[in-house]
């Protein structure tokens, strides 16, 4: 008998270790996969929506820019049109969400003739300054949200809403 | 607010702010010449109602549309709706319709009648601009009522 012959005992132990290892891996893999799943999620950074607004046309007066994206709700797909109030402050372009922080109505720029240079919510007379800051003593308790923006070939692209960074 | 579970919870918590009910009135017409027109008008009325909800989200509750046939007694329909909604402490109740018959019923019922525009052949962008125009005309009607 040569020395490198595998004994019955060794053979069994190798086989059991091998099979056991596969079984353990089969159980552990899904657990590890679940644990690191958030890391593997695709980042939502690509969610910018192209608008028809030219960067060069944006002025210091807030202007309403509509943008449409597809929303999938279970099996129901629909085109959602959202809007932003867009203006230029120095070199910076600002896009504010039109959703009132009180109960979610839509605010309008200079919607109330008595208050120039402010956003106005017609529901409960809430007002915001041009930078989105809520006017004290009106119902809203926080500033308007801001949209992430970027430029694409001279046109404005609007991303997701973020808390106001100007106030 | 819409008439659903999530929004109804907000409504019950914020009753002092959400004090207006909006009910679209939709006529169902089974006759050969009226079928298509009534369907198109319903489409328009519901789209407009959704836009109103979007504008005044924090002050109104948009109810599911009320559908009826031409023969039903309109006056009593209104009374029944109002009676029920007053239980929920709504201060203002608006009905919105493009059925011409309501326009002849006179004022005092808060029925907002808007002539229907056929939206079928329009693309999304055109639809929105038509509806936004209509909405702009409706805002003062709401504002006036609320100011009183």
* Interface contact B124-A104, CB threshold 8 A: no
Q: Which domain holds residue A30?
A: 1-41
**ipTM rounded to 2 decimals:** 0.76
* Token output for B137: 């005309």
Enter the pTM of the model: 0.77
In which order are the strands placed within the sheet that holds A155-162?
Answer: A49-54, A155-162, A146-152, A92-96, A76-89, A63-73
User: Is A2 found in the same domain as A57?
Assistant: no
Residue A167 in any domain: the answer is no
How many domains in chain B? 1
* Interface contact A123-B56, CB threshold 8 A: yes
Q: Give residue-wise pLDDT tens across range A26-84.
A: 999 999 888 888 777 765 555 788 888 888 889 999 998 988 888 777 788 877 788 89
Residue B96 in any domain: the answer is yes
Q: Give residue-wise pLDDT tens across range B70-123.
A: 888 888 888 888 899 999 889 999 999 998 888 777 566 688 888 888 888 888
* Interface contact B54-A106, CB threshold 8 A: yes
- Containing B23, the helix (H) or strand (E) segment is strand B20-28
User: Is A54 found in the same domain as A29?
Assistant: no
Residue B145 in any domain: the answer is no
Residue B143 in any domain: the answer is no
pLDDT band at A1 (very low <50, low <70, confident <90, very high): low
Interface test with A, best of B13, B50, B52, B58 (most A CBs within 10 A): B58
Residue B70 in any domain: the answer is yes
User: Is A6 found in the same domain as A68?
Assistant: no
How many domains in chain A? 2
Distance between CA atoms of A162 and A112, rounded to whole angstroms? 26
Other Cβ atoms less than 10 A from the Cβ of A66: the count is 16
For residue B10, the chain A residues in CB contact (below 8 A) are: 103
Residue B16 in any domain: the answer is yes
Q: Which domain holds residue B66?
A: 5-137
């Amino acid at each position: 008998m040569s020395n490198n012959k595998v004994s019955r005992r060794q053979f069994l132990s190798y086989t059991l270790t091998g099979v056991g290892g596969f079984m353990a891996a089969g159980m552990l893999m899904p657990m590890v996969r679940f644990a690191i799943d958030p890391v593997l999620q695709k980042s939502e950074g690509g969610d910018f929506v192209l608008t028809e607004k030219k960067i060069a046309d944006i002025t210091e007066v807030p202007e309403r820019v509509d943008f449409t994206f597809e929303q999938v709700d279970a099996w129901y797909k629909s085109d959602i049109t959202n809007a932003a109030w867009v203006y230029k402050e120095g070199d910076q372009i600002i896009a504010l969400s039109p959703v009132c922080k009180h109960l979610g109505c839509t605010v309008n720029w200079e919607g109330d003739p008595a208050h120039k240079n402010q956003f106005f919510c017609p529901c409960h007379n809430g007002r915001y300054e041009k930078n989105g800051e809520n006017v004290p003593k009106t119902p809203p308790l926080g500033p308007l949200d801001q949209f992430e923006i970027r430029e694409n070939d001279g046109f404005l692209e609007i991303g997701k809403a973020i808390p106001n960074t100007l106030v | 607010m819409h008439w659903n579970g999530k929004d109804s919870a907000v409504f019950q918590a914020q009753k002092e702010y959400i004090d207006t009910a909006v009910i679209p009135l939709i006529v169902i017409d089974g006759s050969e010449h009226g079928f298509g027109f009534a369907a198109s008008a319903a489409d328009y009325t519901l789209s407009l109602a959704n836009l109103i909800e979007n504008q005044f989200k924090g002050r109104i509750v948009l109810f599911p549309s009320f559908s009826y046939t031409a023969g039903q007694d309109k006056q009593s329909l209104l009374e029944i709706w109002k009676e029920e909604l007053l239980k929920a402490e709504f201060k203002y109740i608006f009905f919105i319709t493009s059925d011409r018959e309501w326009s002849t019923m006179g004022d005092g019922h808060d029925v907002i009648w808007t002539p229907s525009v056929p939206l079928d052949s329009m693309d999304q962008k055109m639809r929105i601009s038509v509806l936004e125009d209509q909405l702009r005309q409706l805002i003062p009607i709401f504002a006036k009522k609320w100011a009183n």
